[in-house]
Amino acid sequence: MTETLKTAVVTGGSRGIGLGVVEALLDQGFKVFSLSRNICQQLNNERLVSIKCDVANESNQLDAFEQIRETTSRLDACFINAGVCGVSPLLEMDTDEWDRVLSTNLTGAFYSLREAGKFMRDSTYGGNIVACCSLSSFKPENMIVHYNASKAGLRMLVESGARELGPYNIRVNGIAPGLTKTDLIAGTENIPGYLERVAKRTPLGRIGEVNDVIPSILHLLSDQWVSGQVLIADGGLSLVTPTDPLE
């Protein structure tokens, strides 16, 4: 039986940017599978299937994608978004903290890319995969060396995936948000003047909101000709140099 309902997978879909993408895809008529450690309870929609999944656990992801395959024969879009962070000086960071971030942000993303790619290859539709790479994949920030490294690795995973999966009509791209108001930056409001300084250094004059990033992600999840690119969505923050004479 040929299925006409478009289908999407979103990892980390229970909060932040992932939740915003889930909601937007539902509004576009997709059936959406949300994979996250917490069940997505904020939305009530019969086309939303929330699967409890730790993306860093390979067995969890294999089971989740098998469950999806039992439900539908097509996968049109996948947003690889699940991520964690933490703050620690490089010289004081222990192996457990390094592994915690890399296992989710990079290894978990690899599992998602691999399984989504297999699914799209096996269907007759091809598809679009977008990974949340972060501005930190281009610009290293202090105290989060593990996060910087994981996102830089994810950026290369996007480019490598685009090369290998292109022959199957699968596009792979990335989105690189700047500082965005989500749970991931919880605690930064306690650093005196930090958010105000970032807003001042951003040409558009404020900190990003989830809804600022969603349109770019939706475009990449539907574009038929762009592949292997990472789009920076940061309000212009990455344009500011540390040696600005006006400062």
Establish whether 147 is a catalytic residue.
yes
- Report whether 110 contacts 128 (CB < 8 A): no
Alpha-carbon span 157 to 18, nearest angstrom: 19
Residue 213 Cα distances to 24, 208, 227, angstroms = 11, 8, 18
Phi/psi for 146 (5° steps) reads: -65, -40
Q: What single letter denotes the amino acid at residue 236?
A: G
CA atoms within 13 A on the CB side of 121: 14
Q: Which of 111, 125, 147, 194 is catalytic?
A: 147
Which residue matches tokens 């003047």? 193
| Strand blocks (E) in the chain | 7-11, 31-36, 48-52, 77-80, 127-132, 170-177, 230-233
Handedness of CA 88, 93, 94, 100 (dihedral sign): positive
Active-site positions?
Answer: 147
